[in-house]
Amino acid sequence: GIQVEQSPPDLILQEGANSTLRCNFSDSVNNLQWFHQNPWGQLINLFYIPSGTKQNGRLSATTVATERYSLLYISSSQTTDSGVYFCAVDYSGGGADGLTFGKGTHLIIQP
């Protein structure tokens, strides 16, 4: 099956810093999503981004499908950004086969 690798596995930053999280995948994908899992375990949809660039406030994401990677940018980090960030992909087209998740990047923002 498809492999999804995220880097770095852990990241500790001071409040106000910027960060870039990377997701590499081993095969062509039709869908790619970024999620934030907060300290209470809730999964929050950040971006649905099979290709191109999107922005939402301090967060933005870029997927270069032809080179099989996606980047999540977090600017001016806040303590509420702490948690685990997951990249997940689907290569079946309509989502029929479910998502394959990476192991995540554990982000800690210190005040």
- The footprint of other proteins (CB under 8 A) covers 1, 4, 30-31, 33, 35, 41-43, 45, 48, 86, 88, 90, 93-104
In angstroms, what is the minimal distance from the CB of 9 to other proteins?
9
CA distances from 87 to 15, 29, 44, 72, 98 (A): 23, 12, 12, 9, 13
What's the rounded Cα separation, in Å, for the pair 5 and 78? 25
Nearer to other proteins, 98 or 111 (CB): 98
Q: Which is nearer to other proteins, 74 or 88 (CB)?
A: 88
Shortest reach from residue 65's CB to other proteins, in Å: 14
Quote the tokens at residue 102: 């990476």
Nearer to other proteins, 18 or 108 (CB): 108
Taking the complex as a whole, how short is the minimal distance between the CB of residue 32 and other proteins, in angstroms? 10
**What burial letters (b/e) apply to 71-98, b meaning 16+ CB within 10 Å?**
bbebeebeeebbbbbbbbbbbeeeeeee
